Amino acid sequence: MTATIAPALAPEDLDRLTSAAALIGAGDTDSVLAAAMPSLGTAERTALTRYTRFTHAAVLIFPRTFDGLREELTHLGVRVGAMTPSVVVRDRLSARYGVPVENLAVGILRARLTDRHGARCELEIFAMATPEEFDHIAADERLHGRENHFALAVPHADPVLLSGLRTAVSTRMLPDGGGYNEHEDSTILYFRDAQHAVPAYRRLELISAGRFPQVLAAHQRESAAGTRLLGLMTGAWATQAIAAAAALRLPDHLMTISGLQALAAETGADRDALGRLLRYLATLGLVRAHGEHYLLTDMGALLRSDVEGSLRPLALMYGGPFYQSFGALTDAVRTGEESYAKVFGAHHFKHMAADPVLAELFHQSMAASNAVFADLVRVVDLSDAREVVDVAGGNGELLSRVLAANPAARGTLVERPHALASAETTLAAVADRCRLVAGDFTESVPGHGDVYLLSRVLHDWDDEQCRGILATLAEAMPAHAELLVIERLLPDGDVESLAVAWDVHMLCNVGGRERTESHYRALLAGAGFELTATIALPLDTYVLRASRVTGTA
């Protein structure tokens, strides 16, 4: 009788089996989450631990055949149960290497182990039968370990819970496919972090008993390599769709009209084309569709022209002149010079000042961030100020709010003449306590203020010009006066912030830049100011409170 010859496992496969078993023995749910996603806060990790359980670590190996594989694993001290077919991994390998699924034999073997607390955990072994013609697959997979992962089970999954967990993990790891395993009645969601320093934590599997087709469909869509990139590349389409909605005053009309036919008649638009635009706006979250009727969402309502803080001017500005100049961003990156001046023949301040309609749109767009202005008077106590000087304050929107919140204070708005014409209307309610001063703030500012406001000004200029502006202020300000600088701050680390995109906008359209807190601190110190506090405002904006350093000019 001839004995069965067990397949020889390659040393690389044996090493990965050993590493996966060691991971299980030293880990638990909390520790693997902490290792895989170190940026997770304690509260987030605790929440994930509450709803998931570390259930196994997985490794993909490449025996020549399945014959004798269980016996060899047993000889190595790894006792496994019967092999079951692997659907998800087989399909992923098929798609990755262009091999028909019927030509691939992939199975799953499971060995019962325990985690650091003695709780049951499994070593999941994916095995692909690897004749010589598939050696290139084995070599590539051993190099990159794309199917090796750790797994979290969701014991009591439902669509809402699974969707929420998927979203939470997606903030730290990228969706990486998945599927439904009919042999085990389980839905599988994979995530990956190709940059993780430890291979064992580069992939995560969420596994839930049952079928969740909608969650899986969303996950697979986001897993497609080009989905996110295509969404980013077509961002210009969204900009123009929003600008078109603003130009047609769709948000205004949707307050009283919902039917497509009536909307087309009211806006003078082609019915079919308007329907296509509205369908796209629905995917952007600005409207909700009900057949051929449309309802305005809260986000879409921000584009109404009749609401305080309307963002309609910004939509027209970003879809208009700034959109045109952004088309020359490549040139701005190559030269380090703003593209707006090259597209329109003049810096945007001069270009817009020469066109009354465009100048008014610009000042309206600057005043559109009312959420920032509203919070300033809430988070900064200016009740002791008797004179507030708003330097380059546009149409006076910020100063009007400061004076309204501080009835005992008087105000001075320093701006160029064309801006002051618009400010007269904005400041009408506080006109008896406010004076308008025409002038160039880069050359001089009034010297009688208690508080000086410099809102979204410094980011328009390079460092040398900022130093000059701050020096002019330092020379004019009384010793007791305080300077409030309002700007977006670039994050010091890998933190999402609107300032990052606005920094490119400043490069392209203005010639300035956004800066970190430490950068502003250095600029202020160079002009004789000390940064005393940094207070967060909405829209990733901050107020930097600065005082004159004793003994400086």
Name the amino acid, one letter, at 352. M
Of the residues 459, 480, 505, 519, only one is catalytic, namely: 459
- Tokens representing residue 468 in the block: 């000059």
Number of neighbouring beta carbons within 10 Å of residue 30: 14
**Joined tokens for residue 358:** 């465009």
Q: Would strands 451-455 and 387-391 be described as parallel, antiparallel, or unpaired?
A: parallel
Beta bridge partners of 548: 529
Question: Distance between CA atoms of 423 and 145, rounded to whole angstroms?
Answer: 63
DSSP result, 117-185: TS-EEEEEEEEE---GGGHHHHHHHHHH-TT-EEEEE-TT--HHHHHHHHHHHHTTSEEEEEEEETTTT
Q: How far apart are CA 193 and CA 103, in angstroms?
A: 29
Active site residue 459: yes
Is the CB of residue 149 less than 8 Å from the CB of residue 189? no
| 248 Cβ contact partners less than 8 Å away, ≥ 6 residues apart | 267, 269
State whether residue 332 is helix, strand or coil: helix
**Residue 533: helix, strand or coil by DSSP?**
strand
Q: Residue 217 in contact with residue 162, Cβ under 8 Å?
A: no
Closest-CA residue to 243 (of 311, 299, 325): 311
Name the nearest CA neighbour of 398 among 423, 433, 373, 363.
373
**Cα distances (Å, whole numbers) of residue 215 to 150, 169, 493:** 20, 14, 32
Can you list the pairs that 518-527 forms with residues at least 24 positions away whose Cβ atoms lie under 8 Å?
A: 518/492, 519/490, 520/458, 520/485, 520/487, 520/489, 520/544, 523/458, 523/463, 523/466, 523/467, 523/470, 524/470, 524/483, 524/485, 525/549, 526/467, 526/470, 527/467, 527/470, 527/471, 527/473, 527/474
Angstrom distances, CA of residue 283 to CA of 27, 269, 296, 300: 42, 20, 13, 12
The residue type at 373: F
Contact 87, 182 (CB under 8 A): yes
User: Angle at the Cα of 90 (from 87 to 91), degrees rounded to 5?
Assistant: 85
Annotated active-site positions, please? 459
